[in-house]
A = this chain, B = another copy of it.
Amino acid sequence: MAGLSEYTLITPTAGISVDAHGGRAKCLQRLVRLDMPVPRTLALSFDVVAGIAAGAMPDTSAIMREFAEGALISVRPSSEDPDWGGPRAVLNIGMNDERHAQFVEQEGRASANALYLRFIHAYAIYVARLDPDMFEDISIHAGDPDGDKALKDALQAYEDETDEVFPQDPARQLGEVLRSMARVWTGTTARLLRSAKGAPENAGLGLVVQEMALGISGGVSGSGVIQFVDSQTGLPQVTGRYKSQSQGRDALAGKDNVMFLNKDPRGTSLQSLLPDQFDQLLKDGELMRRRLREEMQIEFTIEEGVLSILDAVRVQRSARAALRIVVDLARDGVISREEALTRLNPHSLTELLHPQVDPSVKRDTIARGIGASPGAAIGKIVFSATAAQHAAAKGESVILLRRETSPEDIRGMHASVAVVTEKGGMTSHAAVIARGLGLPCIVGAHGLKINTRKKTLVTDDKRHFSEGDELTVDGSLGEVLAGPAKLLDAALDDAFTTLLDWADDVRDIDVRANADTPSDALTARRFAAQGIGLCRTEHMFFEDDRLTVMREMIFADGAEDRRTALDRLMPMQRADFQELFEIMKGQSVCIRLFDPPLHEFLPSTREGTLELAEGLDLPVSTVTARIAALTEFNPMLGMRGVRLGITIPEIYDMQARAIFEAAVEVTKRGDIVVPEIMIPLVSAQKEAELVRSRIDAVAAAVRYVEGVDFTYRLGVMVETPRAALRAGDIALNSDFLSFGTNDLTQMTYGLSRDDAARFMSEYVKQGVFAEDPFHVLDTDGVGELLMIGAERGRAARPQVVLSICGEHGGNPESIAFCRQAGFDYVSCSPYRVPVARLAAAQLAVADGLKLRTITGSK
């Protein structure tokens, strides 16, 4: 029951579409339309292939009759998106004893045997599903130069295994190939693989049946693969190989007799051998790029000097190549800049910001975990923050290994090139800080045991590593590798800068960085953040000399003593802020007032306690008692943030003074600074009101003493559900509301991000949560609170500035949400800023916005 509906001849006007016949069929039609030398090709639609899988075989004799008498044919998969995979191509269908005899006649025995052998192998393995091992040894080799024995063995092996002679009827061969390919597509493996790449449940498979251009005739025949850019860099470069007397992608796989394409001192080349055909390929490539608006890789055959183009696919590319390619396409006018912006996954930029393990090297992976901060680094392992600092002081690169990290480890993390922890998830302390610092980081590492006391790392398969041994951390893939691996540098080249300039030129929501230190701030500037959206100040109290004073403050008797201790911290804080203001000059810096519970500043070990008692000249029992008194059941929900600010107001007074004096200092030098002060953990309007009145008083005092006027903005970090619900009241005392989605997510779910790591993967696996809400903003729950807060805040105070500053800030999904909700900016860790800029630009482009600047690229 052959019929027109069962297959479509690919002609310029045939009804071929990506969603009925797949991308490959459509691409081949485009090549046909461009008048390229594509052999005769038929397309089988998704429906027909699905029918084949279900048992409804088309008339394969009719299909064979569509091709030249005696021609061999190939079948290739054609799914909607080439990334979704599919069955392997099968070549040389139609080959049998009779044609073999003809080929022996025409092309010689060796060529004929090679053609037949290739087909038998493919058919046996992919269609008859025989054990590949059976055919492993059957090949043409020195002792059998023409391959007569190999062919005989292969036919015999087939017969032995299947109890029938190798099928001789081309129509039957084709039918079996089609059935086999159709069924592979419906198998579990293929379904899982493509669903992991985002294919829908009902993704279809089309097939492309093409007359073979053999490439094995005489001396001017062969096959090859060519592309015009480098897959790693994206820079223009003719890349590929050509092999005489070969088929398919043999030129890429083989080693012997493979030729370069363009002239090369290292050996023969297609360009020198067949200059006309080579020129034709260049011309076809250029035409393809212009008309298909993409960098393509071409599969071609030359038969008796005649060029055929069998297929063309998108060039495989690294993230950096992808970026370069789209920028070049746009610069060359092939695509618009707006389209260039939409062609990249924003997340892929992250890879470019950090060195990467060279993908071409073999990996000696000793443990895996969650890749919590991307990039790769090589270093000697250490097991404590102190060891990291000592080694770093000696100029060594070190990797910090910990069960988990705490605020006391921050200086050690600063001193390291990478961090690995056994515990924790994407939003654990180690992960958050590492992302902020741009350090490669793996958390929740399994397959290893870290023994901090013995300073050893032992893997599950009993490999031992000790302090000082060198490892490589691949934070992008979440793998720990033994020894130093080959790394590729970060790629912040002109293409990167250009693309992000274009992004800035179209996007309509601002992007700031969360930056706590001068080094963060420099990174923020480097990535063109529009100010600092969240500067956490607590780290400033962990440095050695400050920690001591901080502890004196905690142990002070009454407000007066506290103030004395804080007066000593003030100049240091002022210097911190001054440095930040200078780095960020002209941009907003939003400083969050002191947030963590005081017990974080007290020692957690017996030795630490003794040392502290000595330092403060207090009885150990007093120190122990004070530590016990400050201990909390649920520190996350305890005495921190504005609660400290209200009960121990001296801390905020000191910070406000430091901020204002720093601002005055910078202003005096002629720079513009408008500091923003943010109050954390507010849950009631009155909290903001009380803090505001004290801070206004401090500002008045500083203005009076310094004789310099300055302005500042005061706002609230909305991170409790109640603050979101009461945003209307709270906005009355707030110039801005910044949604801290980390804590807001924790409280909305009643879920500590540190403790959730133990079951989150199980939860996501079971589909209880669609996604880890600490990773992807929960728009249904947390998102609703954001909307409520934003609406009420705006209603009460139309000019209130709205933003988010949680870990979610840099996620494209969150940016879409915030943009929709009319937020003024998102703030994210410095290394997420480029991602956020591009993601925001894509949203603007999707809404039909155009770049504002229409002159040439900057």
Contact = CB atoms under 8 A, between A and B. Distances in A.
A634 B748 contact: no
Give the bracket for the number of chain A residues in contact with chain B: 35 or more
B637 A684 contact: no
Interface in A606-648: 632-639, 643, 646-647
Interface string A743-774: 10011111110111011001100111100000
A70 B762 CA distance: 96
A780 interface: yes
Contacts of A749: 683, 720, 722
Nearest to A687: B768
A683 B752 contact: no
A750 B720 contact: yes
A748 B768 contact: no
Nearest to A780: B726
A249 to B, nearest CB: 46
A781 interface: yes
A686 B637 contact: no
Copies of this chain assembled into the complex: 2
Contacts of A687: 768
Contact of A755 (B637, B646, B681, B781): B637
Interface string A638-661: 110001001100000000000000
Contacts of A684: 768-769
A767 B686 contact: yes
**Do most interface residues of chain A lie in helix, strand or loop, or is the interface mixed?**
helix
A565 interface: no
Contacts of A782: 722
Contacts of A755: 632-635, 637-639
A768 B634 contact: no
Nearest to A638: B755
Given A634-B754, A637-B637, A646 B747 contact: no
A747 B721 contact: yes
A159 interface: no
A785 B721 contact: yes
A784 interface: yes
A690 B765 CA distance: 13
A725 interface: yes
A441 to B, nearest CB: 19
A722 B781 contact: yes
A769 B722 CA distance: 12
Contacts of A748: 683, 720-722, 725, 747
A633 B633 contact: no
Contacts of A647: 759, 762-763
A719 interface: yes
A690 B766 contact: yes
Contacts of A754: 632-634
Contacts of A785: 721, 725
Interface string A678-690: 0001011011001
A758 B747 CA distance: 20
Given A636-B637, A758-B639, A646 B768 contact: yes
Contacts of A781: 683, 721-722, 725-726
A751 B633 contact: no
A634 B752 contact: yes
Given A752-B638, A780-B726, A768 B720 contact: no
A750 B750 contact: no
A681 B684 CA distance: 24
A787 to B, nearest CB: 11
Contacts of A767: 686
B752 A743 contact: no
A323 B502 CA distance: 79
B637 A752 contact: yes
A574 B690 CA distance: 54
A798 B224 CA distance: 69
A746 B638 CA distance: 10
A422 to B, nearest CB: 10
B637 A768 contact: no
A486 B816 CA distance: 70
A427 to B, nearest CB: 12
A756 B720 CA distance: 15
Contacts of A784: 725
A632 B762 contact: no
Given A690-B766, A725-B781, A768-B687, A637 B634 contact: yes
25 contacts: A632-B752, A632-B754, A633-B752, A633-B754, A634-B637, A634-B754, A636-B750, A637-B751, A637-B752, A637-B755, A639-B755, A639-B758, A639-B759, A646-B762, A647-B762, A683-B751, A683-B781, A686-B768, A690-B766, A719-B750, A720-B748, A721-B781, A722-B748, A725-B784, A747-B748
Interface of A: 632-639, 643, 646-647, 681, 683-684, 686-687, 690, 719-722, 725-726, 743, 746-752, 754-756, 758-759, 762-763, 766-769, 778, 780-782, 784-785
> 8 closest Cβ contacts across the A-B interface?
A638-B755, A637-B752, A722-B781, A720-B750, A634-B752, A721-B721, A634-B636, A634-B634
